[in-house]
């Protein structure tokens, strides 16, 4: 699927592609609010992210919009810290470490900011 910087439309920029694993469940600590979060702030778990050629220095939007929320912060450790990865700020960091070596991560993406390839 295409990873977009906003809702699909004429102004949307394709930041890369990835394969979807599943819909990410919000934190169980939200209890009755989890349904509302799933409806208003849906997130996908992705793997095999490939960043579009000129988009390596673009911001990785899910860090601020999803991981830094009560709904999805529980995924920071298994996605990054457990693998010795500092929280990625840029798209290139989803595919490569600081030395340029390739890496594979499972990451979140806003489910509303995708389109079919």
Neighbours of 43 (CB within 10 A): 25
Question: Two tokens at 111?
Answer: 């489910």
Would you say 80 and 88 are in contact if contact means Cβ atoms under 8 Å apart? Answer: yes
- The pLDDT profile of the chain, 117 residues, written as one tens digit per residue, is 999 999 999 999 999 999 999 999 999 999 999 999 999 999 999 999 999 999 999 999 999 999 999 999 999 999 999 999 999 999 999 999 999 999 999 999 999 999 998
**What pLDDT score does 117 carry?**
87
Quick check: helix, strand or coil at residue 37? Answer: helix
Write down the pTM of the prediction.
Answer: 0.94
DSSP conformational letter for 101: -
């Amino acid at each position: 699927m295409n990873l977009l910087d906003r809702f699909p439309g004429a102004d949307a920029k394709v930041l890369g592609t990835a394969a979807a694993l599943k819909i990410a469940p919000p934190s169980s600590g939200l209890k009755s609010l989890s349904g509302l979060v799933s409806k208003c702030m849906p997130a996908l778990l992705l793997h095999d992210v490939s960043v579009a050629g000129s988009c390596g220095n673009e911001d990785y939007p899910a860090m601020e919009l999803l991981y830094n929320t009560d709904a999805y912060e529980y995924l920071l450790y298994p996605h990054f810290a457990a693998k010795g990865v500092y929280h990625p700020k840029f798209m290139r960091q989803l595919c490569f470490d600081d030395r340029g070596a390739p890496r594979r991560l499972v990451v979140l993406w806003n489910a509303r900011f995708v389109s079919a390839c």
